Structure 1
């Protein structure tokens, strides 16, 4: 702002102070996420020194909460949101999320479509992976029309067409990839069994197209800037610094989703006018 040069160490020294100043806002963000109807969860890697660690995010279209913890259910619990959440949790197929039985689930359709595309490339003479992918993509297109106000609901004949293609594709695909002896199965078999066993969690967005998203894009978008900044700035040097940095990022990212710039949000924190998320979140 003034043209004066400041050292990296001085900027780093402000992180714990900024995290402390933003704590009340972040605590409310955490509570509001617990009470939300839709929640996105995701995780990615970071480094502290030479050691790999995991970043977790719980977010909505209007709030973001990041924290550092192991890639486990205990690590996801450490954010203080998932153990208490009772709405619809949108996530990839990572097994740790399946343990949250007090909420309902929506598996990310974009992840599944990528897996089906890869399986179709591995077995080009088999058409069932392409059929299932077509069914999921078609249901997403129909749901998008509902959200855009072009139609009041997914037409029953379109819903039936895509659901039949989805379930029949799984049934035939399983017959083409029979179970092998023992617990370990082929990736194609594992994918088809997951589609069969978790069909309701995959198709939930078709049941409630106005409210339940087909993908976990919100969770991935929340992590992307964090990964980009790490590539530019390098790794963290301590868990304490990384934890403070993620707290600070949670605060302005949530404020940004409500129309404030990151600079304005941080300025308000340091000048005694902390931004607080509204209790009544936008629909």
Structure 2
């Protein structure tokens, strides 16, 4: 099979899936929980960004030259989404205020480990233990068919969380003696202090997996959905054109969706080509 034949087939398949992608985006806007993430790609040697939006039964990919809010607007999912967006707490996602947010605690565990290893932060050890205790309790409750923790359990864990954060914040309220003239502008905080401030400000988003069982502990679903794209990138090195990037992402999103729904991928692709207009 020649490269020209493959290119023609790819373009035809992608064009045929435009309507399916439109329907998918409409369904995503109505989903109760959507995992979102982004990763870098290369297109004709330049860096672009691939955005993903994924509930349990669908995968939507959207390539864009930008990483932030403008790209998310162009993807046409988050601007109209009113469910719960699960992500890695990047501020660009936080700008969508019409929906609720849940943070990936797998990211938090890695950041807490860094705070323990590099800054010897005792509070980070306590928070790590608390996260794992809550996760264990939630996993057990789900396993025995419960749909929520008891109010007493939730209050107990929230109190522990608040105590760890408040105690850790105490040293930051003290002004250390000046050892050199202060520099102009905003003073840069340590990564550990930034993490602590995030826990202080976003307790609800951090612990949403505890209060709403529809929300998982982490954002692994989105990371898994991006993994195949990264594998493709390692093999090919770069996409050659915006049209090729969009075609690949649309077809790959369709295949991922079919697999998530437990359907036959080959049969679904065959039906897609059968639906093409006859040009002979």
Using structure 2 for the length normalisation, give the TM-score: 0.89
Give 1 or 2 for the bigger CA radius of gyration: 2
Identify which range, 140-149 or 42-51, moves more after superposition.
Answer: 140-149
- Please state if 1:104 is matched with 2:100: yes
Matches within 5 A, 1:154-233: 154-156=149-151, 158-177=153-172, 182-209=186-213, 211-233=214-236
1:33 to 1, 14, 28: 28
- Please state if 1:120 is matched with 2:116: yes
Distance in 1 (CA, whole Å) between partners of 2:2 and 2:233 is 18
Deviation at residue 178 of structure 1 after TM alignment: 5.4
Identify which range, 31-40 or 229-238, moves more after superposition.
Answer: 229-238
- RMSD across aligned positions (CA): 1.9
Contact 1:66–1:250, Cα closer than 8 Å, also in 2: yes
Q: Provide the residue aligned with 2:75 in structure 1.
A: 79
Cα pair distance change 1:123/1:165, threshold 3 Å: farther
| Aligned residue pairs, count | 266
Q: Which runs of 5+ in 2 are unaligned?
A: 176-181
Deviation at residue 147 of structure 1 after TM alignment: 2.2
Contact 1:252–1:261, Cα closer than 8 Å, also in 2: no
Cα pair distance change 1:156/1:68, threshold 3 Å: same
Distance in 1 (CA, whole Å) between partners of 2:169 and 2:246 is 45
Contact 1:136–1:162, Cα closer than 8 Å, also in 2: no
Q: Which runs of 5+ in 1 are unaligned?
A: 1-5, 274-283
Where 2:240 maps in the other structure, the secondary structure is coil
Deviation at residue 150 of structure 1 after TM alignment: 5.1
Contact 1:179–1:185, Cα closer than 8 Å, also in 2: no
Using structure 1 for the length normalisation, give the TM-score: 0.88
